[in-house]
Amino acid sequence: MKPPAHPLKKVLIANRGEIALRVIRACHARGIPTVAVYSDADRNGLHVRLADEAVHIGPSAPRESYLVHEKILEAARISGANAIHPGYGFLSENAAFAAKCRDAGIVFIGPPPEAIRAMGDKIQSRLRMKAAGVPVVPGEDAVNEDTLEEAATRVGFPLMLKASAGGGGKGIRIVRTMSELREAFERARAEAEKAFGDGTVFLERFVEGPHHVEVQVFGDHHGNIVHVFERECSVQRRHQKVVEESPSPFVTPDLRARMCEAAVAAARAVGYVNAGTVEFLVDARREFYFLEMNTRLQVEHPITELVTGIDLVAEQLRVAAGEPLSFRQKDIGQSGHAIEVRVCAEDPESGYLPSTGVIDGLLLPGGPHVRLDSCLFPGLEISPFYDSMLAKLCVWAPTRDEAAARMRQALAEMRISGLRTNLAFLARILRDPEFLSGAYDTGILGRMAVSAPDAETERLALITAAVLKHEYAESAKPVAAEGRTGGMDAWRSAFRFGGGR
């Protein structure tokens, strides 16, 4: 595959929130102008203020704004952007959109549409991985009403029904007996049809007590494909990741080497370019199986950056511009330990119901090796239209125990008022004995005991609550963003901090 013929002159970020900010900062560090797009709900978002230009793309609902190919491409055209970074979610794994970018002469900062298409279909990707020698979970491909029972008998119980076009935990059902099978099949197929427009379902053997471990991979247009080591992602709720860490406390050096080699083979099998992640299930005997490939940057990419020192988004820009990777496999290693938690607007005590409202108080953690990727500010309205994730809080330390202690301190310091969040729930996880042992699997949250906050957490909570009570007596209100193209100057003038006049 030939590298792009032109450098990145201006990058449009086809996303919102913290990932849009992350990409904007990486572009500015390389001297590349940026264009934000925004819906009605995001009119006052920080990504709108920090970008050099901003284009309104429609109503708040994603299907009327961030998911509309033509609106994104038109925004690139009128702003003069010659490249689009999709972030994650929305159009990041949409092969049709990537192809439209290429047809329009716009650089899609991600893999080629052929690679997205090859790995987006779970059944076809399983077949490709088998051919490439990558271990896959035993299963049966593309079952229907007539073949369901016979296929399930061959796979054996317990098993998983999975949507072929799926992702994000949708279209998945665990089935333990034949009597549950048909109803679960109908539910999985209906959910997949609604979520992805494709009701194709396949069967996989259910791996009891699995670990979810993923490997970061990176390819360029010059034939180089490398891995950037692994992340442990087993703290999950309904197949949604909650806490991630790197290195994995469960993975041995030998297993790491074998998994990383398999991940590179998987990427090479589809001619992969740019950032991607190969996800594996690992059983109690440390046998691993291919799960899927995410053909985009991952939410949890910061912890890989923290333990390797590689700026993955900057590397995405280099590769998209036709440059070779800035490192070789032998040049990189893992140093220390990093943990990430996903701070969400949800109420764990009420079944994780999403929470909406206006942030009327905010206190952010700090200290050595504490990183917060967020889009938060006092006065920000959290709407019901998008994912509930507000921020990614990450820490690094020389050892895992020190990293966990640093994360507990950071969580104790962080406060968001005006809506419900999962901060207290995250703090419980970081105190849980099973998590601290490093021997946990994907069932940890179901087993986790409710424990009272420790004395230090309670003390810091009282301090931060008192700060919030007085700090934001006069909330800052962001200026309207309609037609704004002012970059940092507009951002600086948009707020009054600490009640200043």
Q: Which of 296, 318, 342, 408 is catalytic?
A: 296
Task: Locate 245 and state its tokens.
Answer: 């860490």
Give the number of other CB atoms < 10 A from CB of residue 266. Answer: 26
Do 300 and 343 form a contact (C-beta atoms < 8 A)? no
3-class state of residue 182 by DSSP: helix
Q: Could you give the 3-state DSSP secondary structure of residue 145?
A: coil
Q: CA 214 to CA 265: how far, in whole Å?
A: 14
Distance in angstroms (rounded) separating the CA atoms of residues 126 and 118: 10
CB 44 within 8 A of CB 480: yes
Cite the beta strand spans of 185-325 per DSSP E. 201-205, 211-219, 225-237, 240-246, 274-282, 288-294
Pairing of strands 83-85, 11-13: parallel
Whether residue 296 lies in the annotated active site: yes
Q: How far apart are CA 265 and CA 153, in angstroms?
A: 31
3-state secondary structure (DSSP) of residue 292: strand
Q: Give the E-state strand segments of 11-78 in sequence order.
A: 11-13, 34-39, 53-58
Report the C-alpha gap between 137 and 323 in whole angstroms: 36
Task: Report the C-alpha gap between 390 and 354 in whole angstroms.
Answer: 11
CA atoms within 13 A of residue 301's CA, in its CB half-sphere: 26
Upstream peptide bond of 354 is cis (omega within 30 degrees of 0): no
Compute the distance between CA of residue 478 and CA of residue 12 in angstroms, rounded to an integer.
23
Tokens coding 157? 């119980």
Phi and psi, residue 432, nearest 5°: -70, 130
Burial class (CB in 10 A: 0-12, 13-18, 19+), 375: buried
Angle CA 217–220–224, to nearest 5 = 75
Q: Provide the annotated active-site residues.
A: 296
